[in-house]
Amino acid sequence: MVERGARVAAAALGLLLAACTTTIDRADRAWQAGDITTATAGYERVLTEGGLDGERERALVRLATLAAAPGSPTADPARARALLGELIARHPASELRREAEVLLALLDRADAVAARLAAAEQERGRVAAELERLKVDLSVKETTIARLRANLTEANAEVDRLRRALEQLKRIDLERRP
């Protein structure tokens, strides 16, 4: 009876391991085919069903990669960091540790680039506002210059008129003198 129980337990364990392997294999095939939804579900199943260490490690890295991919329907950089942190913490001797560290470094660089991009966008907005202010200021100054030119033209015309009047008065004065 004990022997039969041991065989049943071994068979059950073998089926469980085969199911996990099948799950990881299906997830890997979906990954290679670019089917993100199926791959994600498969890797999640590997983690929840227990899988072997190597399978769990691969599932963690693949899920993190999917979560780190910009534009992916599963994009979630915080989750990618958590998954990679879990791999590094729980499997420090993993062959995938270096890959996880590189992916974390890339996430850090992406965050730094995003921060610089946000700062540049903010600066662009500030510069655009300043440009608009300068355009308004220039318009006011151009209007002032046009007004001053008109005033100058009027003043020059008045000076010419006064000069002619003065010349006429000088002639009249000279004519009156004996």
For the chain, 178 residues long, the average pLDDT of each consecutive 10-residue run is 61 50 88 93 92 88 93 90 94 93 94 95 96 94 94 92 91 82
Q: Under a CB-based contact definition with an 8 Å cutoff, are residues 42 and 27 in contact?
A: yes
Opening angle at CA 36, ends 75 and 30, nearest 5: 150
Opening angle at CA 62, ends 39 and 99, nearest 5: 165
Residue-range definition of the domain harbouring residue 49: 2-121
Give domain status of residue 169, yes or no: no
Give domain status of residue 74, yes or no: yes
pLDDT value, residue 158: 92
Give domain status of residue 152, yes or no: no
pLDDT value, residue 22: 78
Give domain status of residue 56, yes or no: yes
Give domain status of residue 47, yes or no: yes
Give domain status of residue 49, yes or no: yes
Give domain status of residue 146, yes or no: no
pLDDT value, residue 7: 63
Long-range CB contacts for residues 51-58, cutoff 8 Å, separation at least 24: 51/20, 51/23, 51/24, 52/17, 52/20, 52/21, 53/91, 53/94, 55/20, 55/21, 55/24, 56/91, 57/87, 57/91, 57/94, 57/95, 57/96, 58/24, 58/28, 58/96
pLDDT value, residue 174: 85
Give domain status of residue 100, yes or no: yes
Q: What is the pTM of this model?
A: 0.62
CB atoms within 10 A of CB 106: 12
Q: What is the total count of domains within the chain?
A: 1
pLDDT value, residue 20: 45
